[in-house]
Amino acid sequence: MTDMPFAVEMFFDEKADNLVRDVWTDLARADLTLSMIDGGYRPHVTLAVFEGYASPKFEDELRFFTEKRRVFPIKLDYLGVFPRPEGVVYFGAVVTEHLLSVHNEYTKLFAPLVTGVRPYYLPGSWVPHCTLAYSLSVAAIPAAVEVCSRSMLPINAKVKEIGLVEFPGHREVLTCELVRNPRDGS
């Protein structure tokens, strides 16, 4: 069992990844935040955040969880804010049956293998989102929202990888590719 904070994140196709990174760059140019750039993050939607996990069982289960799962669409369709102490501005993902089923399957399979799960990521509380900025002061949130609102939404992304990430520092411990769809090459 480890005791560093970790996350399981769903990573996007290159086009969507670049569109989100463009917003991060716009926020930096506006002198609002470098949080995502300096943090070494990849654009993503987080399935869970937790304090520790059972290794190597967790990694084996993550490989099993992803090995037959196909690349799937995820639509980032609105701009949102978590004004709590975290000061987060994000693109919200449209909640679909498929997205909820991925989250629910993940939660059921991995619950016995993790400790210290953050309650925001539990079923019934999870708000699937792609963070654009965090640690913003309450005063900086409106300016960040204004910059982010210039983005062309929706972003029709594809989830192509799921990874186990250690933070701070966003170190990818394990990243697993999803199965490509033979009909469209994604």
What are the residues facing 175 on neighbouring strands?
Answer: 163
CA distance 48 to 173: 15
Residue 159 lies in a domain: yes
What does the pLDDT look like over 164-174, one tens digit per residue? 999 888 899 99
Q: The CATH number of the domain where 55 resides is what? A: 3.90.1140.10
In a domain, 175, yes or no: no
pLDDT in tens, 44-76: 999 999 999 999 999 999 999 999 899 999 999
Q: Which domain holds residue 62?
A: 6-167
pLDDT number for residue 4: 66
The total domain count for the chain is: 1
Residue 185 lies in a domain: no
- Is there a domain that residue 176 lies in? no
The predicted model gives 90-116 an average pLDDT of 97
Residue 181 lies in a domain: no
Question: Is residue 178 a part of any domain in this protein?
Answer: no
pTM (predicted TM-score): 0.94
Whether residue 182 is contained in a domain is answered as no
Of 18, 17, 12, 37, nearest to 27 by C-alpha is 37
Whole-angstrom distance, CA of residue 11 vs CA of residue 165: 11
